[in-house]
Amino acid sequence: MVRRWLVTGCSSGLGRALVAAAAAAGDVVVATARRTGTLDGLVRTHPDRVLPLALDVRDPAQCEAAVAAATDRVGGLDVLVNNAGNGVFGTVEEVADDELRDQLETLVVGPWRLSRLVLPLMRAQGAGDILNISSLAGRMAFPGLAAYVTGKYALEGMTQALAAEAAPFGIRVSALEPGGYATRYGTSLTDAAGRSPLYAAFTDPMRGLLGAMAEGPTVGSAEEFARTVLRIVATPGPLPVRIPVGPGSHAYVEAAAEAAAAELTAARALLDGTPS
Ligand SMILES: NC(=O)c1ccc[n+]([C@@H]2O[C@H](COP(=O)([O-])OP(=O)(O)OC[C@H]3O[C@@H](n4cnc5c(N)ncnc54)[C@H](OP(=O)(O)O)[C@@H]3O)[C@@H](O)[C@H]2O)c1
């Protein structure tokens, strides 16, 4: 079958690779980016299958226009991929209210709004997939990336609620938790304006690690990620609500589960006097 996709954040990285892979597989993609010029190459390669559109997910009117374009110009929507994301680097004390709000607009409010807009369309079709590109930072927090972690935890909470709400209508909703993939993510982080030397002993090394993430020996390619997403979408039946994908992701989720179990044991010891 030819699937119709709407993907956010297609100027680079995972979103861009996903558009290329879906179009190469014969699907039709409403490919969106804040700067549409970044989509020119994709359109040149697949002029009949890639429909470029301006979309900053923080902008409600542009979100509405993108979903309307899917209805009017490609006749419906089979897959929404909430991929757009960026990161504000800083601890809780360093990140200001407006920086936090902006981070949550991109990571949570945008995906929430787009999901709300596509639900009537998918419900009428009796089918559809909503894939939220989360992070392993939505499983276990990294200190120093407090706003990003908060956004991804919120996205995972929304995904879990929506998965149960939408399932009766034949709509599948999952959060994908990428392990390390070589993209601009680590280098496009912005520093909170209030970064303080007080935290530098642990934030500086972490900033360095994230900046070099794409060059690490254990990172995957965006193309591998895209192939995995195509496989997930083509798999019939219910999907896991949270899907860790890519290098190191399964080990990370196991570590997060062990940390949760240890926390429960410690809480029991605290409250019941049970030995920990
Ligand atoms: N790479 C990894 O290993 C990894 C790991 C965990 C999670 N992720 C998640 O994967 C997703 C894609 O990231 P990536 O790794 O491909 O990094 P990337 O290359 O930096 O791509 C991020 C994309 O999101 C776009 N974007 C940012 N804010 C936006 C907004 N408000 N509205 C619309 N587009 C916006 C960027 O557009 P501009 O060019 O306009 O900035 C860019 O196209 C993100 O949600 C990220 O959190 C990636």
Q: Whose CA is nearest to atom 47 of ligand 1?
A: 85
Check if 53 has its Cβ closer than 6 Å to any atom of ligand 1.
Answer: no
Tell me what pLDDT residue 187 has: 86
Secondary structure element (H or E) that encloses residue 177, with its range: strand 171-178
Check if 57 has its Cβ closer than 6 Å to any atom of ligand 1.
Answer: yes
For domain 4-247, the question of CATH label 3.40.1080.10 is answered with no
| Res. 276 pLDDT band, cuts 50 70 90 | low
pLDDT, average across residues 168-182: 96
Tell me what pLDDT residue 119 has: 98
Check if 58 has its Cβ closer than 6 Å to any atom of ligand 1.
Answer: yes
For 23-136, list the strands marked E by DSSP: 28-33, 50-54, 79-82, 88-89, 128-133
Q: Is the pLDDT of residue 115 over 70?
A: yes
Q: What is the pLDDT of residues 252-262, one digit of tens each?
A: 999 999 999 99
Q: What is the pLDDT of residues 233-269, one digit of tens each?
A: 999 999 999 999 998 999 999 999 999 999 999 999 9
Q: Is the pLDDT of residue 275 over 80?
A: no
How many Å apart are CA 260 and CA 249, to the nearest integer?
Answer: 17
pLDDT, average across residues 210-221: 83
